[in-house]
Structure 1
Amino acid sequence: MACDLFIKLMMIGDSGVGKTALVLKFVDDTVKHGKLSTIGIDYKTKMLWMRGKRVKLQVWDTAGQERFQTITQQYYRSAMGILMVYDVTSEASFQNISRWNEQISKHADKDVQRVLVGNKADAEDIAVAVGRGQELAEKYGIPFFETSAWFGENVNQAFIKLAEMVIQQRRREDEPYIPDSLSLSKDEPSKQRACCVRQ
């Protein structure tokens, strides 16, 4: 089924922070079992409804390992929104957000929208308090969400907020009016066909 607007989102962050788990929970409402790492880059699609308008989200899931950085850098330029993800049980992944933010500054469009996500909020061994995530997000001037891909806490909210930010940016650029009301579609990605592709 055709869409009215196409939005490309990108996930970045260290290996093991739960980027793939977040994508699976958002797109398929499934829980990822095990610790299978993304090799290179992969993507899934999700349809959003906006008062009868159909918006296709294409979410790119990138590998966090250093050896894949040259692969993923080429995808920054076409991303309209980026989720920077860290693991709340890993101080190192939180500290590395500054490095990921620098990658965005170097390789992405200057108007790309960003949100900060602290994943694995359901864990017991929390190393990064929620207040620290909020402070870092305020420093960057972006929204912050603490999520649990296992229970779905704030997962939809993070993706939808980023999509809304992209839409608002497009409206400021005098693109066609898009209504503000968003809701999730039940369409399965496998039944969607490519449309409005901008890469």
Structure 2
Amino acid sequence: MATTGDYDHLVKLLLLGDSAVGKSSLLLRFCESKFDANFVLTIGVDFKWKQVERNQRKLKIQVWDTAGQERFRTITPAYYRAAMGVVICYDITDKATFEHIDYWLQQLDQHGDEGVQRVLVGNKADLNENRKVTKEEGEKLAAQYNMKFFETSAKTGQDVEEAFLSISDDVVKQRYSDVQPNAFQVKKQAKKSSSCKC
């Protein structure tokens, strides 16, 4: 295990999305460069970490994997509050998982920190022949909520690292740079002082 002396910044990410969209597979692919076809449902919450170097800084990226099943959703709110960034996932071969993204964003708004970084990920891009959600639909939804968007495949590794590192970079810019955190705090205070809910 790395100690605080081994890295410059800690980045805590949370995986959200319906059950069976491939959250655990994305976690395994990113942290261990593996893919396991033997699907096992996550019970409650699991996490792994990976250390990377970005822009001359050593980052320890903790990724928390949450169960998407209804009976485990009550476990999750405490983890929203600790998250610096959230990877919201759906399965491109399952339209319902895409339609439920609104639900997960509502949960994040309700339980998460204001201004938490977010990225939208359409997983299972290797199953393009079974696609039920177009790339354009994913891009449109991401733009609607001002999120970056990636289509990934935990099986082949397509854009998995890019998605996780992109949101990690955004977290570092927001929380650890000399200028950005101050700007974020000013924005946060301005938002709090405004009574407009539009």
- TM-score over 0.5 (shorter chain): yes
Q: Deviation per CA, 1:26-83: give whole Å up to 9, x if none.
A: 1100002222110000000000113543110000000000111110111000100000
The structure with the greater share of residues assigned to helix is 2
Aligned partner of 2:149 in structure 1 is 144
**Higher Rg of the two aligned structures:** 2
CA distance 1:93–1:51, shift in 2 (3 Å): closer
Q: Deviation per CA, 1:105-136: give whole Å up to 9, x if none.
A: 00000110000000001112100011000000
Alignment of 1:80-119 (within 5 A): 80-119=84-123
Aligned partner of 1:162 in structure 2 is 167
Q: Percent identity?
A: 45
1:26 pairs with 2:34: no
Gapped regions of structure 2 (runs ≥ 5): 184-198
CA distance 1:51–1:154, shift in 2 (3 Å): closer
Gapped regions of structure 1 (runs ≥ 5): 176-199
Instruction: Give 4+ residue runs of structure 1 displaced > 3 Å after superposition.
Output: none
Q: Match of 2:163, as an amino acid?
A: A
Give aligned pairs, total: 175
Aligned partner of 1:153 in structure 2 is 158
- Tell me, what secondary structure is at the counterpart of 1:89? coil
Q: Comparing both chains, which one has the higher relative contact order based on Cα–Cα distances under 8 Å and sequence gaps of 6 or more?
A: 1
1:38 pairs with 2:46: no
For residues 52 and 121 of structure 1, the distance between their equivalents in structure 2, rounded to whole angstroms, comes to 32
Aligned partner of 2:187 in structure 1 is none
Q: CA RMSD in A?
A: 1.2
Q: Deviation per CA, 1:148-192: give whole Å up to 9, x if none.
A: 1100001000000000110111121159xxxxxxxxxxxxxxxxx
